[in-house]
């Protein structure tokens, strides 16, 4: 089974993300989900982003990277929106990365390294009508990443929610979240095989 480091989005380590981590655990995976916000959770994305800005985006990314240092190698990095930056950085720069799942955000394949590392599979997930993902350049970066990586998939969902997999938020889309979970579980099972 896979060892997963799950990095939360700007609204914090919500009940929905905790439930998703529990779903992965229920399938036999080990999941570490550090709380980069020290217990703070925000009902509104704007408030969560305000908190992230106050703490500092770089400082939050460093907390995510530091969380990996406490764990062994051979990790799968799963990042949701704000958590994508440290997840993608770790997947591209930390020895032993087994894979990455990037949700609602993505940067180009040369952001953290000269290219996507060979032998590290990646999935990118986003809502096809999510204004943040589509209009702020993340979808373009995801397409660039998928074109550059040897083992990469881009999944677009028929929804407009930025954080659609999170069952505790208004953005949640039940059908899209179920398909997302199915695809992530299949990805993790493939890495274990």
pTM for the model = 0.96
Contacts of 47 (CB under 8 A, 6+ apart): 11
- At residue 170, the pLDDT reads 94
**Residue listed under structure tokens 């990443």:** 145
Strands (E) located in 108-187: 122-127, 152-157
Predicted confidence (pLDDT) per residue in 122-176, tens digit: 999 999 999 999 999 999 999 999 999 999 999 999 999 999 999 999 999 999 9
Read off the DSSP letter of residue 116. Answer: P
- At residue 193, the pLDDT reads 58
Rg (the chain; Cα; Å): 15
Residues of the chain where predicted confidence (pLDDT) is lower than 70? 193
Q: Where are the domains of the chain?
A: 8-192
CA distance readout (Å), 179 to 93, 99, 107, 154: 29, 19, 23, 13
Which CATH architecture describes the domain 8-192?
3-Layer(aba) Sandwich (3.40)
């Amino acid at each position: 089974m896979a060892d997963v480091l799950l990095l939360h989005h700007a609204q914090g380590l919500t009940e929905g993300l905790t439930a998703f981590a529990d779903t992965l655990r229920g399938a036999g995976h080990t999941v570490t989900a550090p709380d980069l916000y020290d217990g703070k959770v925000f009902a509104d994305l704007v408030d969560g982003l305000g908190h992230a800005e106050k703490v500092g985006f770089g400082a939050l990314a460093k907390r995510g990277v530091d969380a990996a240092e406490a764990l062994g190698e051979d990790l799968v990095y799963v990042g949701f929106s704000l958590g994508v930056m440290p997840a993608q950085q770790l997947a591209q720069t930390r020895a032993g990365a087994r894979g990455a799942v990037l949700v609602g955000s993505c940067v180009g394949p040369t952001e953290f390294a000269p290219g996507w590392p060979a032998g590290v599979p990646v999935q990118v997930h986003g809502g096809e009508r999510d204004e943040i993902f589509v209009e702020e350049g993340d979808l373009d970066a995801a397409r660039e990443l998928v074109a550059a990586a040897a083992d990469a998939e881009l999944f677009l969902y028929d929804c407009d929610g930025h954080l659609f997999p999170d069952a505790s938020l208004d953005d949640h889309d039940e059908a899209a979240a179920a398909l997302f979970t199915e695809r992530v579980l299949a990805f993790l099972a493939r890495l274990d095989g």
